[in-house]
Amino acid sequence: MAAADRDPTEPWWKAAVVYQIYPRSFADADGDGVGDLQGIRSKLPHLEWLGVDALWLSPFYRSPMADFGYDVSDYCDVDPIFGTLADFDELVADAHARGIRVIVDWVPNHTSDQHPWFVESRSSRESAKRDWYVWRDRTPDGAPPNNWVQTWTDGEPAWTVDPQTDQWYLHLFLPEQPDLNWRNPEVRAAMADVLRFWLDRGVDGFRMDVLHALGKDPDLADDPAELIPIPHSALNHHESTHEIVRELRSVLEEYDGDRMMVAEIFLLDTELVASYYDGGAGVHLAFNFPPLFAPWAARPWAVRIDEVARMIEPQGWPSWVLSNHDQPRHRTRYGSEARARAAAVLLLGLKGTPFLYAGEELGLEDAVVPEDRVVDPGGRDGCRAPIPWTVEGDHGWGRAEGLDTPWLPWPPDAAERSAEALRADEGSILHLYRRLLAARRASTALRLGDQAMVDAPDDVLAWDRTGAGGDRRRVIVNFGSSTVDVSTLVEGWAVEVASADGALGTDGALAADAAVLLRPT
Q: Which of 67, 113, 360, 361 binds ligand NOJ (CB under 6 A)?
A: 67
CB of 429 to ligand NOJ, least distance (A): 25
Q: Which amino acid is at 167?
A: Q
CB of 407 to ligand NOJ, least distance (A): 16
Q: Is the dihedral of CA 151, 153, 157, 163 positive or negative?
A: negative
Supply the DSSP symbol for 180: B
70 or 135: CB nearest ligand NOJ: 70
For residue 458, give every residue at least 6 positions away whose Cβ sits within 8 Å of its Cβ, in sequence order, or none: 298, 480
Q: One symbol per residue from 200 to 219: x for binding ligand NOJ (CB under 6 A), - otherwise; what is it?
A: ---------xx---------
Task: Specify whether the CB–CB gap between 22 and 358 falls below 8 A.
Answer: yes
CB of 151 to ligand NOJ, least distance (A): 7
CB of 325 to ligand NOJ, least distance (A): 6
C-alpha to C-alpha distance for 69 and 417, rounded to whole angstroms: 27
CB of 14 to ligand NOJ, least distance (A): 23
CB of 109 to ligand NOJ, least distance (A): 7
Task: Specify whether the CB–CB gap between 471 and 319 falls below 8 A.
Answer: no
377 or 508: CB nearest ligand NOJ: 377
Angle of the 185-200 helix axis to the 240-252 helix axis, nearest 10: 30
Rule CB under 6 A: say whether 376 interacts with ligand NOJ: no
C-alpha to C-alpha distance for 14 and 6, rounded to whole angstroms: 12
For residue 363, give every residue at least 6 positions away whose Cβ sits within 8 Å of its Cβ, in sequence order, or none: 331, 337, 340, 341, 417, 422, 428, 429, 430
Residue whose beta carbon is closest to ligand NOJ: 70
204 or 264: CB nearest ligand NOJ: 264
Q: Residues 427 to 446: which contact ligand NOJ by CB under 6 A? A: none
Rule CB under 6 A: say whether 70 interacts with ligand NOJ: yes
CB of 207 to ligand NOJ, least distance (A): 9
Give the distance from CA 163 to its chain's centroid: 37
Q: Residues 102 to 121: which contact ligand NOJ by CB under 6 A? A: 107
Supply the DSSP symbol for 402: T
C-alpha to C-alpha distance for 455 and 489, rounded to whole angstroms: 9
Q: Distances from the Cα of 259 to the Cαs of 104, 306, 314, in angstroms?
A: 11, 29, 22
179 or 361: CB nearest ligand NOJ: 179
60 or 389: CB nearest ligand NOJ: 60
What dihedral do alpha carbons 144, 145, 151, 156 form, nearest 10°?
A: 20
C-alpha to C-alpha distance for 134 and 112, rounded to whole angstroms: 14
Q: What is the set of active-site residues?
A: 209, 254
Reduced to 3 states (helix: H, G, I; strand: E, B; else coil), residue 430 is helix
Rule CB under 6 A: say whether 357 interacts with ligand NOJ: no
Rule CB under 6 A: say whether 173 interacts with ligand NOJ: yes
CB of 65 to ligand NOJ, least distance (A): 12
C-alpha to C-alpha distance for 381 and 390, rounded to whole angstroms: 22
C-alpha to C-alpha distance for 28 and 400, rounded to whole angstroms: 11
210 or 511: CB nearest ligand NOJ: 210
292 or 342: CB nearest ligand NOJ: 292
For every residue of 279-340, DSSP letters joined together read: GGTS-SEE---HHHHS-SSHHHHHHHHHHIIIIITTTS--EEES--TTS--HHHHH-SHHHH
Number of residues that bind ligand NOJ (CB under 6 A): 9
Rule CB under 6 A: say whether 72 interacts with ligand NOJ: no
Q: Residues 253 to 272: which contact ligand NOJ by CB under 6 A? A: 264
C-alpha to C-alpha distance for 409 and 369, rounded to whole angstroms: 7
Q: Residues 317 to 356: which contact ligand NOJ by CB under 6 A? A: 325-326
CB of 209 to ligand NOJ, least distance (A): 5
37 or 211: CB nearest ligand NOJ: 211
Quick one: 35 exposed, middle or buried, by C-beta within 10 A (0-12, 13-18, 19+)? buried
Rule CB under 6 A: say whether 176 interacts with ligand NOJ: no
Residues lying near ligand NOJ in the complex (CB under 6 A) are found at: 67, 70, 107, 173, 209-210, 264, 325-326
